[in-house]
Structure 1
Amino acid sequence: MSLEAMVKAVERWIGTAEPNEIQAWYRQRNGSLYNGNFAWCDATITLAAVEAGEYDAVCFGTDFAYTVAHAARFKAAGQWTAMTNGIKASGIRRGDIVFFDWAGTSEIGKIDHVGIVTGVSADYKYVYTVEGNTLNVCARRVRVVQDIAGFGRPKYKPAPRPATSSGSSGSKRPQVSLKALVQAFKVDAPKKGTPVSYAPTKYVEQALVAEKLLAAQYADGHAGTATRSAYALLQHRYGYSGKDADGMPGKASLTRLGKAHGFDVVA
């Protein structure tokens, strides 16, 4: 498993309201103290860590519902960064477990809430997150530095490497030309049955489907408006904004997507 597995495990619960399976799961493990509609933001992180195979990295082998205790555990392990020097200087990044104090302090004892970082804006003004129990649902949020008390950085397992063949006839990873893909996005042929301008576009669309950003019906090789909209959402997830998140593929974002979903990017 890996950092990406952890992010996807939290994202799986987006849209979940209360009462919910997360609370029921946590109650079953931890007893009647958690009867009723208890605050479940950290229970979401705990469940996701179990599902992602990152329970030891994220939770140190302990279930957490109390955010203060969870942040203190990161600090005890030497894996805590207080948000005292701004978003850019702190180095906060995708996969970090981010803790919030609505009063604007960086004191662990005053922490109110927790989520996981999915990206940071290119201008370092915003941190993108997924959080359980935010306005009573699990949802994506955009946070500013004043909200953030600090973050813990789990020691995630490295991402698994794709299997390769040592023989000369072994299979190769698919390749996607950035130049040809950008041209395909500009052509924009959305109608089914019309010629596909660049066949490897489908690899990108299938990756966007796997990221739950594009409906499977649109992964037909045509770089239509749905595909471009989905790619813009991906760019926002990766922390881009403005012209860097207009839905037109760029080398950095496409390479990152390819690494996660089994294709290589060429010029």
Structure 2
Amino acid sequence: MSVDTMIAQVERWIGTGEPNEIQSWYRARNGAAYSGNFAWCDATITRAAVDAGEHDAVCFGTDFAYTVAHAQRFKDAGAWHAMTNGIKASGIRRGDIIFFDWDGSSEIGKIDHVGIVTGVSADYQYVFTIEGNTANVCARRVRVVHDIAGFGRPKYKTPPKSTSTSGSSGSKRPVVSLSKLIAAFKKDAPKKGTPVSYEPAIYVENALVAEKLLAKQYADGHAGMATRSGYSLWQQRCGFHGTQPGGDADGTPGMTTLKRLGQKHGFDVVA
């Protein structure tokens, strides 16, 4: 078993809404106190850990639904890392169990939510995660340092090999795949709740924000309609026309405009 096995178990729940099998499974193991539509973010981590054969490493052999208790257990084991010195200095990496305080503190007692880290951006500005019970579903998210209270580091049977992801092995600059970005624009646009189907979309959104073509609140990794509209404006700025579906400025990224955006804002583009 390994960190990749753990992440694969969480990935299989992506898109799950509520009520759900995770809640039913946790209730069957832990009793009627967990009846109804209880918060299930940490139950998701527990279920994945059991299925991955990493229950001892991730949960110390205990089921957790209460994020504060889970974080405290990591601290008691000497495996807690408060997010007090930024993403890069913290050393957070793939497979870490990440805890959030939406008010921006690093206090265990104020923790609101939990997920698992799938990677860290090459510029150490973002942490990529999968989280249960986020906008009532299990979904990928892109998080910034303000929201991260800290993380616990499980002792996986096989430890992770790398600490960051940029979309291309060995690249110092973030890398955006055009084909994957187009797929994200098609998949994310009709949906609400900020599902993140392609994590590096955040680099494109941040570039559009810098160009004053997208409101900062929409730079969340979800390639929704606001992002598509902002990209259409970028295409028009680059000299393309036709904003209807199929037009050169319809908001669907193309290689020419994406490379131009990347050259200006610090990311590379591959097919």
Task: Name the TM tier (shorter chain).
Answer: 0.5 to 0.7
Q: What TM-score, normalized by structure 2, do the two folds share?
A: 0.62
- 1:32-47 equivalences under 5 Å are 32-47=32-47
DSSP 3-state at the match of 2:93: coil
Aligned to 1:122: 122
The letter for the 2-side match of 1:246 is: V
- In structure 2, the CA distance between the partners of 1:38 and 1:74, relative to structure 1 (3 Å rule), is same
Q: What TM-score, normalized by structure 1, do the two folds share?
A: 0.63
Paired with 1:240 and 1:227, the residues of 2 have a C-alpha distance of: 13
CA RMSD, aligned part only?
Answer: 2.9
DSSP 3-state at the match of 1:89: helix
Paired with 1:109 and 1:143, the residues of 2 have a C-alpha distance of: 20
Give percent identity, aligned residues only. Answer: 73
The letter for the 1-side match of 2:55 is: Y
Paired with 1:72 and 1:100, the residues of 2 have a C-alpha distance of: 13
- In structure 2, the CA distance between the partners of 1:30 and 1:234, relative to structure 1 (3 Å rule), is closer
Larger Cα-atom Rg: 1
Paired with 1:131 and 1:101, the residues of 2 have a C-alpha distance of: 14
Deviates more, 1:119-128 or 1:13-22: 119-128
Moved over 2 A (4+): 225-230, 233-237, 239-248
The CA deviation at 1:226 is 5.2
On the 8 A contact 1:119/1:236 being kept in 2, the answer is no
On the 8 A contact 1:235/1:247 being kept in 2, the answer is no
Paired with 1:235 and 1:69, the residues of 2 have a C-alpha distance of: 32
Aligned to 1:246: 269
On the 8 A contact 1:67/1:111 being kept in 2, the answer is yes
Aligned to 2:250: none
Paired with 2:38 and 2:197, the residues of 1 have a C-alpha distance of: 33
DSSP 3-state at the match of 1:246: strand
Is residue 2:131 matched to residue 1:131? yes
Paired with 2:33 and 2:138, the residues of 1 have a C-alpha distance of: 22
The CA deviation at 1:111 is 0.4
On the 8 A contact 2:142/2:199 being kept in 1, the answer is no
- In structure 2, the CA distance between the partners of 1:78 and 1:245, relative to structure 1 (3 Å rule), is farther
Q: Which runs of 5+ in 1 are unaligned?
A: 160-177, 179-224, 249-267
Q: Which runs of 5+ in 2 are unaligned?
A: 160-168, 170-177, 184-195, 205-261
Aligned to 1:19: 19
The letter for the 2-side match of 1:64 is: F
